[in-house]
Amino acid sequence: MVKKQPNHLLETFFLIASFFPFVSFYPIGADIQPIAGILAFIVIFKNVIYKEKKMDKGSFYMLVISFCALFYIDPLKGGLDIRLGSVMSLFYGSLVYAAFYLSKRHLTLALFSNIIRVYFGLSILLIVDFDTFTSLQGYIVRNVNSDGISGARGILTLSTEPGLFGGMLVAFLIVNDYLFANNVRNKNIYYGNFAMILLMIIATKSGTGYMLFGFYLMILVFFKKINWVIFFSSLLLLLLLQSVDISTFRGTQIITQLFQDPAGIIKEDMSVLTRLFSLYFGVVSVFYYPLGVGINNINTDMWIIIESNNFLNSFPKNINLSNTDSISLTSSFSTLTLMYGVMWWIFLYLIFFRFSNAQLIAKVFAMIFLMFSYSAAFPLIWILLNLKSAEGGFNAK
């Protein structure tokens, strides 16, 4: 009797959900929605049943360690006030990492291109009628944080804000490079994907998107992996944009100030300052609590650190707060450092330098996402850590 082979529709749904991380049929109160994680668990379970592909050791160790971390509770605190989203994010990310390892052979350039087309088509609709389509988007995305297409911040297609969308689009560029290097080398699809992604990055008007795109190009140039067609087409498009008044774009303002007065942007821009505060907090916290504070009742420990550190205590957003107010960090890296201390740093080292064999540019951006703005549950972090080019290249040649 011939054993029935399982189809791969589930893996395809998981891959699609991973590239639409902010979307859910019933959004919960968090930016990252649970669909990709739930499907990741099912993909792993299915693989165990059918034994289609052997799970790599890195995925297995990540799942075991991150699962054990869910129970790192300090019993002396006498309470179980747990920030579930932060606590679950690492295990969620490990599920995505393992499931993507098992599924990535089903991620084709054609499938990815269709995903980009969906984002691009909806982005055009947002530009045409921002209010109507952001209202409709509200049914499947938790929140909308934008000034509108005519404001300083631009489109946020199927995401919660333009900055998060812009950063995700830069990750899409790296995935596009990977797929071109590892699949049929269809330059038309590759360049088409790049053009749509670049236009959407510009339309976000976000400082995050603009800075990360610039950093992406710098890395490619530095390692001499740049595709000059893409490089010069990017410059040409930016030059053409000079005919449009882009001085009000949030991204343009950040880039301009970065070149003219880099110290001023750190002192005056609250968005940048908040990110630096969060990252600095994580580095400082490990000196107060080398083994972390556990996953429960972390707010008290946060205030102990803040009140004993001059920079943290003088941070503008904290001046009008008391130690009974809840503090949140924009850096997932820092939140996990507070909870687990050097154990998180060791785990991070293992992930990046022992478990993952991704190309350098993918690791760099995965680390940036962990350190700034994105939850550890953000699927693109773990997808990037799974990207290894067969030829070691960053870009199409």
What is the torsional sign of CA 244, 248, 250, 252? positive
Cβ contact 146:153 at 8 Å: yes
Task: List the structure tokens of 142.
Answer: 């938790």
- What integer pLDDT is reported at residue 227 of this predicted model? 73
- Residue 149 has a pLDDT of 62
**Nearest-angstrom CA–CA distance, 21 and 36:** 7
Taking the C-alpha atoms of residue 247 and residue 244, their distance in angstroms, rounded to an integer, is: 9
CB of 394 within 8 A of CB of 107?
no
Residue 209, phi then psi, degrees to nearest 5: -65, -45
Per-residue pLDDT of the chain (397 residues; tens, 9 = 90+): 445 555 789 999 999 999 999 999 888 888 899 999 999 999 999 988 877 788 889 999 999 999 999 999 988 876 778 888 889 999 999 999 999 999 998 998 889 999 999 999 999 999 898 888 888 898 999 877 766 665 556 889 999 888 899 999 999 999 999 998 887 667 888 989 998 998 898 888 887 888 888 889 888 888 777 777 777 777 766 655 554 445 445 544 554 554 444 444 455 555 667 778 888 899 999 999 999 999 998 988 998 898 888 878 777 666 566 666 778 888 899 999 999 999 999 999 999 999 999 999 999 999 999 998 899 999 999 999 999 865 444 444 4
Residue 35: closest CA among 47, 49, 21: 21
Residues forming beta bridges with residue 141, ordered by sequence position = 23
pLDDT score recorded for residue 78: 67
Whether the Cβ atoms of residue 216 and residue 166 lie closer than 8 Å to each other: no
pLDDT score of 206: 80
| pLDDT, position 395 | 44
Q: Are 285 and 334 in contact (CB under 8 A)?
A: yes
**136 token code pair:** 């409709």
Q: What is the pTM (predicted TM-score) of this model?
A: 0.88
Q: Which residues contact 118 (CB under 8 A, 6 or more apart)?
A: none
Give the Cα separation of 100 and 382 in Å (integer): 8
